[in-house]
Homo-oligomer: A and B are copies of this chain.
């Protein structure tokens, strides 16, 4: 067996490379470290450097990132917190975060917090134990001072998906998104409208709902509190809210759900009540996830730039680590009209 190139056995360390190349380990470190910097173009390599690199390649040397961080006090990793990866919205944002971070030389650690305050604290502590260089939080809650505490502790972080006060964040302009939805439904002639508003502690639901209601008010359309219901952001949540909305004498002719999955739940409830989506009740969602357009009744929705949010969140965190000051970034939403929302019928009055 070829003991000089251990495959499944012991790892090749910098020392192995150095010994083999007949140089000191510090020399080997410098040579290999420079390579990473990419400043290759500046002049030819010395013989030694050439040799060290060749041997490192031959031996399949891979530096131990932990040993390096121990010394440098940097880990080149980010921690990412999400309420749940099974939520396609957050999964998409995380996907973009991971990809962008990698391009910039960072690895990421994700953690699910199930929107639980205790879990949020625990997971952040675990991530900080792992010496992450910064955090991206996708689960900020308006009813918690946790992000304020983080800021006070000087932990570098950026919020995404949900914003929180003046803390650095990259989100969709949800208030505008809510306004677009309202303008759309009102333009179709709907006057008896309802909102499936999401969790009260999430800025997403709150802002979308506020924008929506603001436009209604400005247009003189009254929306009683009984037609604005909080809900979970998933299918079951939308369904539960819709069941309450429909169990009245004059149900709404249009429902704005602040999340596509909740909107799908609303559609399910409508079906069970014998009502046709679009024809009997208009439904508008939020985010424009890929299935929205393929549903048996394609879902009208407000598109939010999910991947862009992830990308910019990483950019913002990097900028922050560079000492720059990033503020609150809001990306533009776009109204997508589909078959689930059509003009109100006369008899729906």
Contacts and interface: CB of A to CB of B under 8 A. Distances in A.
Interface of A: 7-8, 62-67, 69-70, 75, 84-86, 88, 91-92, 94-95, 98-99, 107, 109-112, 125-126, 128-131, 152-155, 234-236, 239, 261, 264-265, 267-268, 271, 277, 290-291, 293-298
The A interface is mostly helix, strand or loop, or mixed, namely helix
Contact of A86 (B91, B128, B271): B91
A276 to B, nearest CB: 9
A104 B218 CA distance: 55
Contact of A294 (B152, B153, B268): B268
B296 A296 contact: yes
A264 B294 CA distance: 7
Nearest to A67: B70
B290 A268 contact: no
Given A66-B69, A85-B95, A153-B7, A110 B110 contact: yes
A298 B88 CA distance: 20
A2 to B, nearest CB: 14
A155 B86 CA distance: 29
Contacts of A261: 291
Copies of this protein in the complex: 2
28 contacts: A7-B153, A8-B155, A64-B70, A66-B66, A66-B70, A67-B70, A84-B95, A85-B85, A85-B94, A86-B88, A88-B91, A95-B112, A98-B111, A98-B112, A107-B130, A236-B290, A239-B294, A261-B291, A264-B294, A264-B295, A267-B294, A267-B295, A267-B296, A271-B296, A271-B297, A295-B295, A295-B296, A296-B296
Contacts of A277: 296
A153 B60 CA distance: 14
A271 B338 CA distance: 14
Given A8-B152, A268-B293, 16 more contacts: A8-B155, A65-B129, A66-B69, A66-B130, A70-B70, A86-B91, A95-B112, A98-B111, A107-B109, A107-B126, A235-B290, A264-B294, A268-B294, A271-B297, A291-B291, A296-B297
- Residue of A69, A91, A152, A277 most packed against chain B (CB within 10 A): A91
Contacts of A268: 293-296, 298
A16 to B, nearest CB: 16
Contacts of A110: 110
Nearest to A122: B102
A129 B62 contact: yes
A146 to B, nearest CB: 15
Contacts of A8: 152-155
A94 B267 CA distance: 29
